[in-house]
Amino acid sequence: HMVQRVCLLRPDILKRTILVLQWMPFIRMDAYPDKQRTLTTVAEHPSAAIAFSKQVMRLLKHLPRRYVDSLMKKSVPDGRDLAVDLIRTPTYARNFFELGLEEIRDVPQKPDIAAFRLLGQQCPVCMLFCGNDHWAPEFHMEELQSLQKQQMIPATIRMELQAVLVHDFVVRPAMVDSVLEYTLRHIRSVVGSQSKL
């Protein structure tokens, strides 16, 4: 959404754009009612949420690293080094909540058809969806494919599902190569296969 917005607000940038790659494109959707109440409460008090999270992360920073690693083992079984470092960094809390609250406020719950039309007239838009979490769900891709069949968005919007991926693939080493291959394949399709990437 933010990349689309920049391209549309700055025609000079859009004119020079030859490809838009979106990994796990996010579309806002309400959580289950009990979780949504919590999210709404946090969104209504962002300063308190950020301050509380920073304090928790300061506490985690003073705990032995191996203890924090063992706490995270259940949610991130492999490749936790980056995640452990982030969770022990107080500025991460601020960045996480500021970006998350901006997404809640600004990211639409439906595809921006006008943006897709404008971008698709200029260049291909390649979107990689994942199947294991709520971030870029398959139903979002299916909705876009339906819009394409109705010719509401251009055929230059290309979508691919890799059901084994999750949106935080960067901290899961087994998933990185697949995303890298996807990225290089689409860049080469635009700049040429002889290009040294």
Shortest CA distance to 110 belongs to which of 82, 78, 139? 139
Q: What share of the chain is helix, strand, coil (3-state, %, to 5)?
A: 60, 10, 30
What confidence score (pLDDT) does residue 145 get? 95
Shortest CA distance to 87 belongs to which of 46, 49, 59, 51? 59
Torsion sign, CA atoms 53, 58, 61, 63: negative
What parts of the chain have a pLDDT lower than 50? none
Give the CA distances from residue 8 to residues 18, 33, 184, in Å, rounded to whole numbers and listed in that order.
Answer: 14, 34, 25
Helix (H, G, I), strand (E, B) or coil at 148: helix
Helix (H, G, I), strand (E, B) or coil at 112: coil
How far is Cα 127 from Cα 136, in angstroms, rounded to an integer? Answer: 9
What confidence score (pLDDT) does residue 196 get? 56
Contact 158, 183 (CB under 8 A): no
What confidence score (pLDDT) does residue 57 get? 86
What confidence score (pLDDT) does residue 65 get? 86
What confidence score (pLDDT) does residue 19 get? 92
What confidence score (pLDDT) does residue 7 get? 85
